[in-house]
């Protein structure tokens, strides 16, 4: 929702319906946006949808035709949904919203590009969008200047870096379109054994980052799986069964596809820099969530500065489409100062104010302590973190994008050697391949990480500084892959990966004053300006949105305290939770 060009609200439907990646018409998200803007549908000037359904359908038709009769089964499976729903998006929107005005359909990659450039702090910049696929484009680049934006080059389906990564996600036994981050985490334990096979057989990569895939190895054009028998033969067997044991092979495959992805992104980046002459870069598209590749692009100095849309996946396309309508279609100017972005910390979702929380607590007879000011609350919570307590932190407006950024987060002490396994096993109920992410005071970040830029949206991975690292003993080096995760690798063991990397969030007082104040107080107490920040949910569940979901998650897990606005809840004082569902079965693993 834009109001006079300003981003006033953004949220994903999954947070309201509690159905991860909910693909249905976003009824509740729209209601929230209207409510936040204080308007009704009749006040809306323009609605913009993030891609062109007819062109996408054309691509699907053409692809099936060129493979026919192979794939006819999956074609007929997909067809009814398109004919019934997806093609008639304009009607659906107008009907469900009760809206009779203009509905725009920019291209998928144009929406990604707009979501990257328009909210960035840059007056002009190169733009790179890389994802699975939209209509046809899978990678594209161009230039944004003032309120103008132009994409000049694209790689088309079926040749897709996003889908190559997803093919390996599928083959290593994770869920496509949501388990990719697991492959990235797993890569750290592997050797790049299969890189040459990828280049020799799967992919013809050019110096400028463009590439072609050999489609005989993939099955996503005509079938319902990502990889083909030929792919399985090349890598020595069928895909790993989900939830079965992970072996060195999966780690080596993950490392290999991660290395290839980094190489492609680097080559693309260098080429874009050369062709556009731009010193700054904006990025979006699902592949832009690969924060290891992003960190590398920044460290290699290909661009002076990089801004990445925090909702880099397709959810952010909605924001881009709206910004295109404002700047490109309506021709409205854009004002930036090269320093502050216009994304407002991505804290664009629903809020529960103290009155609402108080009502919820009293109606449900939930014991809680109310603090008179947020400052008093943060002092108390900082002490609890220092006592190695695990805290659910629900404060302010919910984040837009897949990362928790200190509004719907679970937090803890980054110095604690036991925190990693405690939080994984007792709170998230999962094994993890990655350590937790650190939230660090922006001004202190250079003392802890080899990071020259700020990373407010947790989209950059950076090495922990050398003097903080801990060598592994010969004994520890012999441990198998994931078992190494519990070996402390630095003086901040809970957030340091086995290769000394960390997925950093820098926190500043402008974007999130309460969260900044909390970490500031933690530093005054302990000398350490770094805490653990992980998303407020259990495995497979969408991040919590409302106080009742936060309370339920708090009660179902071994969290010690819950912060709801300026209220603090102590687990030991809570009545027992009466439940009739087996929630562990409710949410599927990625």
Nearest distance, CB of residue 156 and Fe ion, angstroms:
14
If one counts every other C-beta atom within 10 angstroms of the C-beta of residue 332, the result is 14
Residues 6+ apart with CB under 8 A from 151: 109, 110, 113, 127, 129, 140, 141, 142
Residues lying near Fe ion in the complex (CB under 5 A) = 131, 314
What is the spatial distance between Cα 499 and Cα 258, in angstroms, rounded to a whole number?
Answer: 14
HSE (side-chain half, CA atoms, 13 Å) at 251: 15
Residue number with CB closer to Fe ion (132 or 435): 132
Nearest distance, CB of residue 353 and Fe ion, angstroms:
34
Nearest distance, CB of residue 54 and Fe ion, angstroms:
17
Nearest distance, CB of residue 230 and Fe ion, angstroms:
27
If one counts every other C-beta atom within 10 angstroms of the C-beta of residue 253, the result is 25
If one counts every other C-beta atom within 10 angstroms of the C-beta of residue 406, the result is 27
Sheet holding 567-570, edge to edge: 369-370, 567-570, 561-564, 391-394, 408-413, 530-535, 437-441, 501-507, 460-463
Nearest distance, CB of residue 112 and Fe ion, angstroms:
6
- Residues 436 and 428: beta-carbon distance below 8 Å: no
Residues, the chain: 590
Nearest distance, CB of residue 284 and Fe ion, angstroms:
8
Among residues 312, 276, 397, the alpha carbon closest in space to that of 120 is found at 312
Among residues 451, 159, 420, 162, the alpha carbon closest in space to that of 299 is found at 451
Residue number with CB closer to Fe ion (314 or 341): 314
What is the spatial distance between Cα 151 and Cα 10, in angstroms, rounded to a whole number?
Answer: 25
Residue number with CB closer to Fe ion (131 or 413): 131
Nearest distance, CB of residue 197 and Fe ion, angstroms:
28
Residue number with CB closer to Fe ion (129 or 451): 129
What tokens does 583 get? 């929630």
Residue number with CB closer to Fe ion (60 or 562): 60
- Pairing, β 530-535 against β 408-413: antiparallel
Nearest distance, CB of residue 150 and Fe ion, angstroms:
19
What is the spatial distance between Cα 314 and Cα 417, in angstroms, rounded to a whole number?
Answer: 37
Residues 6+ apart with CB under 8 A from 96: 25, 27
Residues 6+ apart with CB under 8 A from 570: 367, 369, 560, 561
Residue number with CB closer to Fe ion (133 or 410): 133
Nearest distance, CB of residue 96 and Fe ion, angstroms:
23
Nearest distance, CB of residue 109 and Fe ion, angstroms:
7
Residue number with CB closer to Fe ion (157 or 235): 157
Residue number with CB closer to Fe ion (137 or 492): 137
Residue number with CB closer to Fe ion (288 or 390): 288
Nearest distance, CB of residue 134 and Fe ion, angstroms:
5
Residue number with CB closer to Fe ion (320 or 481): 320
Residue nearest to Fe ion (CB): 131
DSSP letter (8 states) at residue 339: S
Give the angle subtended at the CA of 204 by the CAs of 200 and 210, to the nearest 5°. Answer: 150
Residue number with CB closer to Fe ion (131 or 549): 131
Nearest distance, CB of residue 269 and Fe ion, angstroms:
19
Q: Respond yes or no on whether the N-terminal peptide bond of residue 268 is cis (omega within 30° of 0).
A: no
- Residues 55 and 87: beta-carbon distance below 8 Å: no
If one counts every other C-beta atom within 10 angstroms of the C-beta of residue 376, the result is 13
Residue number with CB closer to Fe ion (314 or 560): 314
- Residues 328 and 103: beta-carbon distance below 8 Å: no
């Amino acid at each position: 929702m834009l109001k006079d060009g300003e981003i006033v609200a953004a949220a994903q439907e999954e947070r309201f319906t509690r159905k991860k990646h909910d693909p249905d018409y976003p009824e509740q998200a729209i209601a929230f946006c209207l409510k936040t803007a204080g308007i009704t549908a009749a006040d809306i000037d323009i609605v913009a949808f993030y891609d062109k359904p007819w062109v996408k359908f054309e691509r699907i038709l053409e692809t099936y035709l060129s493979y026919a009769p192979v794939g006819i089964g999956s074609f007929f499976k997909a067809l009814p949904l398109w004919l019934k729903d997806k093609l008639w998006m304009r009607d659906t929107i107008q009907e469900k919203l009760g809206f009779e005005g203009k509905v725009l359909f920019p291209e998928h990659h144009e929406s990604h590009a707009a979501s990257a450039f328009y909210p960035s702090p840059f007056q002009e910049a190169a733009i790179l969008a890389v994802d699975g696929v939209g209509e046809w484009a899978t990678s594209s680049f161009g230039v944004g200047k003032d309120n103008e934006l132009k994409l000049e080059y694209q790689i088309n389906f079926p040749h897709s870096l996003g889908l190559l990564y997803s093919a390996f996600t599928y083959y290593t036994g994770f869920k496509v379109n949501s388990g990719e981050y697991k492959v990235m985490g797993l890569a750290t334990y592997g050797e790049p054994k299969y890189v040459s096979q990828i280049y020799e057989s799967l992919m013809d990569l050019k110096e400028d980052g463009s590439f072609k895939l050999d489609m005989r190895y993939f099955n996503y054009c005509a079938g319902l799986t990502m990889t083909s028998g030929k792919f399985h033969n090349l890598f020595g067997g069928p895909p790993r069964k989900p939830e079965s044991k992970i072996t060195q092979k999966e780690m080596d495959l993950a490392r290999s596809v991660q290395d290839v992805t980094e190489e492609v992104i680097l080559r693309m980046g260098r080429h874009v820099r050369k062709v556009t002459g731009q010193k700054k870069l904006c990025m979006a598209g699902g592949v832009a969530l690969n924060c290891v590749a992003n960190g590398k692009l920044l460290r290699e100095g290909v661009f002076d500065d990089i801004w990445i849309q925090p909702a880099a996946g397709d959810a952010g396309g909605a924001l881009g489409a709206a910004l295109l309508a404002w700047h490109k279609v309506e021709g409205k100017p854009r004002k930036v100062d090269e320093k502050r972005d216009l994304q407002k910390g991505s804290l664009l979702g629903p809020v529960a104010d103290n009155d609402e929380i108080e009502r919820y607590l009293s109606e449900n007879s939930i014991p809680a302590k109310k603090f008179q000011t947020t400052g008093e609350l943060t002092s108390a919570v900082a002490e609890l973190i220092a006592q190695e307590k695990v805290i659910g932190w629900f404060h302010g407006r919910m984040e837009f994008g897949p990362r928790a950024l200190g509004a719907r987060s679970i937090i803890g002490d980054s110095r604690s050697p036991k925190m990693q396994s405690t939080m994984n096993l007792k709170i998230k109920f999962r094994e993890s391949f990655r350590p937790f992410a650190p939230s660090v005071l922006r001004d202190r970040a250079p003392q802890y990480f080899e990071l020259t830029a700020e990373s407010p949206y947790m989209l950059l991975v950076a090495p922990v500084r050398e003097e903080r690292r801990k060598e592994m003993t010969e004994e520890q080096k012999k441990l198998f892959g994931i078992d190494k995760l519990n070996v402390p690798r630095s003086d901040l063991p809970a957030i340091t990966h086995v290769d000394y990397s960390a997925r950093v969030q820098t926190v500043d007082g402008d974007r999130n004053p309460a969260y900044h104040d909390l970490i500031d107080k933690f530093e005054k107490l302990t000398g350490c300006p770094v805490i653990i920040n992980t998303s407020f949910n259990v495995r497979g569940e969408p991040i919590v949105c409302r106080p009742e979901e936060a309370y339920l998650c708090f009660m179902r897990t071994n969290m010690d305290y819950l912060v709801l606005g300026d209220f603090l809840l102590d687990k030991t004082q809570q009545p027992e939770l009466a439940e009739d569902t087996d929630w562990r079965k409710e949410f599927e693993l990625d």
